[in-house]
Amino acid sequence: MAEITASMVKELREKTGAGMVDCKNALVEADGSVEKAIELLRKKGMATASKKAGRIAAEGAVGSYVHMGGKVGVLVEINCESDFVARGDEFQQLVKDIAMHIAAVDPKYVRREDVPEGDVEKERGILLEQLKNDEKNASKPEEVLQKIIDGRLNKFYEEIVLNEQPFVKDPSKTVAELITEKIASIKENISIRRFSRFKMGEGLEKKQDDFAAEVASMVNQ
């Protein structure tokens, strides 16, 4: 049986909002797997974050972030359930962090289902051609190739979908996991609705700067 540590219990509590004892019991039952423990808590109705996810979030805030020197600017709208929470320090910090993340990583869409089907099919076609030109995979059945493609599409989504990207200030969690933690902490549903990212001189030929590295260096100062 896997050892259940205090940090594991804390992580599960942050992700679900369930009680400490319930989190520990779920981890024991799941033999230390946090993902399985989350599923167990959801089935038992103990994961408060997942309960709140379906509630209407019509309040919130529009936040901004301008990269040093005015190179990149971001506007992002994040919704919650009440104006009281929207004005709170924790929610306001979340809005700032997400705006900074967008400036650094340059996602194109908020969630996976926002990606146009045509773009997904185009990527599937490219991946299929790559596999067929690979001696190791070329002779595999079509259904096997499609399963490989499904797996590789996750990387494609990670590159362009905000919710699926590793959070720039803590890459051990995705943006979606960060939102789930905040739902559990703030006790209200939270959702990223939309964003716009502006890059000075975009489309013009110029030196490409590593904005993600610059933002990360600023965070660590």
128 and 177 belong to one structural domain: no
Structural domain boundaries, residue 156: 116-160
Tell me whether residue 20 is in a domain.
yes
Using an 8 Å Cβ cutoff, are 169 and 219 in contact? yes
Q: What is the CATH number of the domain that holds 27?
A: 1.10.8.10
76 and 183 belong to one structural domain: yes
Per-residue confidence in pLDDT tens, the chain, 221 aa: 678 888 888 888 777 767 778 888 889 999 999 889 888 887 766 566 666 666 777 799 999 999 878 889 999 999 999 999 999 999 999 999 999 999 999 999 999 999 999 999 999 889 888 887 877 777 787 778 788 888 889 899 999 999 999 999 999 899 998 998 898 888 888 999 999 999 988 777 655 556 666 666 666 65
pTM: 0.67
pLDDT at residue 162, as a whole number: 97
34 and 77 belong to one structural domain: no
100 and 143 belong to one structural domain: no
pLDDT at residue 143, as a whole number: 79
26 and 101 belong to one structural domain: no
105 and 165 belong to one structural domain: yes
Tell me whether residue 1 is in a domain.
no
40 and 73 belong to one structural domain: no
Q: How many domains does the chain have?
A: 3
* CB proximity list for 23: less than 8 A, separation 6 or greater: 9, 12, 13, 16, 37, 41
